[in-house]
Amino acid sequence: METLLLQSYIDQVKRYPLLSAEREAELATAVQNGDEKARNDLVQGNLRLVVSIAKKYCGFQVSLIDMIQEGNIGLITAASRYKTSFNTRFSTYAYLWISQAILRFVRNKSPLISLPHRKEAIVRKINAIRDYLYQQCGHEPSYDELSVYMGIPVDQIHSALQYSYSLTSLDAVIDFDSDKTVGDFLADSESSPENEYIRRETKNDVHELINTLPETEREVLTHRYNFTGNQDKNTLRHVGSLLGISSETVRQMEMRAIKRLRKTAEASGYLVS
C-alpha cells in the first residue's frame, strides 16, 4: 500500500517543472514581498529534492512517506527564509532545512538502541497490556498480575521490561518553583573549578611576565599574540605597520622578548615548557 502511495506521489511531483537559477531568484524576491503563490511555486519546483534526500534515510525504521512529509515542512521553511542575497542556489540552502526536519523526525520516532525483533515485540505487548489493565483496574498492574493475564512467568516479564527504556530531554523541567531542568543536575565533564582556577592563574602569570618587558617588546608580543583579546593573531607585517617598524625588526624583537621572558620565568620559579 505504501509503495503505491509513494509512486503516486512521485508521479504527481514530476509534473512540476524544475526551476532555473533566474526563476528561483524571481520567486525568492516575490516571496520576500509576501507573494504566497510564488512561495508555492518555489516549493513545488523542489519537491523532488525532498524525495531524494528522504531516500538517503531509508535505513531507519520510519515510513518513507512520513519522512517526505516532514522534509516538505523543512522545504516550506526554507522557501520562507531564503534570500537572493545569500548568493547560493535555493536547493543548496534548502538541503540543510530538509535534512534537519527529516532527522528530527527520525530521532523522535526511532529508538536510539535497536532491539531484536522478538524482544521488541514482547516489550510492546507487555506495555500494551499494562496500559489496558491500568485503565480497567485504576492502578499500575504488578508483575504478578501481568503474569496471570499473559500466561507467562514473572521472571520473563521482569527480564523483558529491562530492555525497555525512556528518554528525557535535558530541558525537561523537574522543579517548577525554580525552573530547574534535568540538565541543571548533570555534572559538567568539560570543566571544573580546579581547571578554571589554574587557567586564571596561568593567565595572570603571563600578564605579569609581559609587564616586565621593555615597552616596545611588550607591544610587539601584545599585538602578535592578541593579549588584548580583541583581534586575531597579527602578522609581522601588520604589527610592523602599527608600530612603524619593518617586519624583520618585529621578528627580531619578538624572538628577543621571548628569550627575555624565559629567563625571567626561570628566575622567578615559573614552570617553563
The distance of Cα 80 from the centroid of its chain, to the nearest Å, equals 22
- Give residue-wise pLDDT tens across range 60-82: 567 888 889 999 999 999 999 99
Residue 78: per-residue pLDDT = 92
117-185 CATH: 1.10.10.10
**pLDDT 10s digits, 77-134:** 999 999 888 888 999 899 989 998 888 887 776 555 555 667 767 777 887 787 778 7
Query: For the chain, what percent of residues have pLDDT higher than 70?
Result: 77
pTM reported for the whole predicted model: 0.43
240, HSE (Cβ side, Cα atoms, 13 Å): 12
Question: At a CB cut-off of 8 Å and minimum separation 6, what does 186 contact?
Answer: 170
- Quick one: pLDDT at residue 75? 94
The better pLDDT of the pair 29, 167 is held by 29
Q: What is the pLDDT of residue 116?
A: 64
Domain ranges (residues) in the chain: 2-109, 117-185, 193-268
Weakest mean pLDDT among 186-190, 208-212, 215-219, 231-235: 186-190
Task: Decide if pLDDT at 171 tops 50.
Answer: yes
47's CB contacts (< 8 A; 6+ apart) are: 13, 16, 72, 75
Task: Please identify which residue in the block is written with the cell numbers 520567486.
Answer: 27
| 215-264 pLDDT per residue, tens | 888 888 888 887 766 556 678 888 888 888 898 998 898 899 888 888 88
**Contact indicator for 223, 239 with CB cutoff of 8 Å:** yes
> How far is the C-alpha of 250 from the C-alpha of 67, rounded, in Å?
59
- Per-residue model confidence (pLDDT) at position 22: 92
Options 3.40.1160.10, 1.20.120.1810, 3.50.50.60, 1.10.132.10; CATH of 2-109: 1.20.120.1810
- Give the per-residue pLDDT at 166: 47
Could you tell me which residues are beta bridge partners of residue 180?
175
Place of cell 529508538: 111
pLDDT band at residue 176 using 50, 70 and 90 as cut-offs: very low
Q: Would you say how long the chain is, in residues?
A: 273
Give yes or no for a contact between 25 and 84, defined as CB atoms under 8 angstroms apart: yes
CATH top-level class for 193-268? mainly alpha
Mean pLDDT over the full length of the chain: 79
CB 6 within 8 A of CB 12: no
Q: DSSP of the chain, one letter per residue?
A: -HHHHHHHHHHHHTTSPPPPHHHHHHHHHHHHTT-HHHHHHHHHTTHHHHHHHHHTTTTSSS-HHHHHHHHHHHHHHHHHH--GGG-S-HHHHHHHHHHHHHHHHHHHHS-SSPPPHHHHHHHHHHHHHHHHHHHHHSSPPPHHHHHHHHTS-HHHHHHHHTT------TT-EEETTTTEEGGGGS--SS--HHHHHHHHHHHHHHHHHHTTS-HHHHHHHHHHTTTTSSSPPPPHHHHHHHHTS-HHHHHHHHHHHHHHHHHHHHHHT----
pLDDT at 167: 45
* Location of C-alpha cell 509513494: 6
Domains 2-109 and 193-268 agree in fold: no
